[in-house]
Chains A and B, each alone.
Chain A
Amino acid sequence: MLELKNITKIYNPGQITEMCLFDKFNLTVTDGQFVSIVGSNGSGKTSMLNIICGSIPIEGGEVLVGGKDIAKMKDYQRYRSIGRVYQNPSMGTCPNLTMLENMSLADNKGKSFGLSFGVNKARENYYKEQLSILGLGLENKMDVKLGALSGGQRQAAALIMSTLTPIEFLILDEHTAALDPKTAEIIMDLTGKVVKEKKLTAMMVTHNLRYAVEYGNRLIMMDKGGIVLDKEEEDKKKMMVEDILEVFTSISIECGN
């Protein structure tokens, strides 16, 4: 279980540009939930993910995982149980390393990086198997450097890599936003499968309302550092894109957008 309790987040504290995003923000995500998060730009979606992962500091509050406060833990320590896919496809892979080397790195997450050989040839077939699920032909590109692949192919590899080792949480930060519609479909489809198969607790920020409705068993809409809509299970299933759009528009009118 993941709990955000009384989170306070202030950008540029003490400066003229000071901006309080979260003031006593609370959210509880139970195990196995797949939460889709929507909201306008600046509503705090990505900031929330960054707070969970420890990428940005907070001014107050607790981040509880299984009841244990991890707010003081360094970002890299938290990633032991977290996998993350970013909006930018180049964030999730190493461009100058080959597919095999990238997969080997990901496969070794959670273990020590010592002086044994970095690439284990015996695991190559397993990597190929995992990549072939995508249907993008990546299993035939084991010796190709990731920098030579397209954004969609890299993002697909990044998703496979982030879930290759056992993790509890999967954090998806607009991970289909930079992809063409067809590749985005493939990646979303795979995301749904992986989350289900590996029984992950997932949080997905997206601007694609259809994905938010189709995937996951909980839907949250954020606005100005608060949650304005929160539907679970049966309630969520009844939600249509139009319903969300309606709430969205009413917020925008308030803001004068």
Chain B
Amino acid sequence: MFRVPFLVALALSVAFGLGIASAVQALKTTVGFGVIALGPWTAFPNAQTASADPYARAHRARQGRLLYGGAEGLQFIASVDSAGAPLEAACAYEIAGQTPVARFWTLYMTDLQDRTLTAAPELPTALNSWTALHEGDGVIHIRLSAAAQPGNWLALTAAGPFRLVLTLLDTPTAGSSGLIDLGMPAIRKLGCGSHA
């Protein structure tokens, strides 16, 4: 005799449970469509515009961050290395290669909640195109490790997973899909734990 109420309750719980869970999961895992992926680096050049898709809009409304306008810059984020393994602060990495054309770039690290990682003031945790050492042909080599390194070095002090944020400021590539042809620096894992 409780058949009909049971069926109604089943339909409602499936609708609300799955509907809410799938929406929350979709907004957590994806920033939307229109991604540009260059190796491990990803960017969303249209996320701040009116032409962003509904997922990108919902995601940015939930994040509430100040995004970069088209003429300001383009932000690339990497949470994996070039081999696809998640970035871990217990490992050592080398970023090597050329950055796309831009007037400036900045590189810093964040945790998975997008909070900028900091360390003691005497340790470098961020670099920009003025402070980084470039080789003769414009190639940069940046070491990320807990132990100090010669050349460009970023200190990995906190434990756990992290992300790399490379912001290209005033880049002609921000508005064009021609970005696909450009190269981004590779992120190579050098070793983990005591081998780092």
A in complex with B: no
User: Which residue numbers of A lie inside 8 Å of B, CB to CB?
Assistant: none
User: Which residue numbers of B lie inside 8 Å of A, CB to CB?
Assistant: none
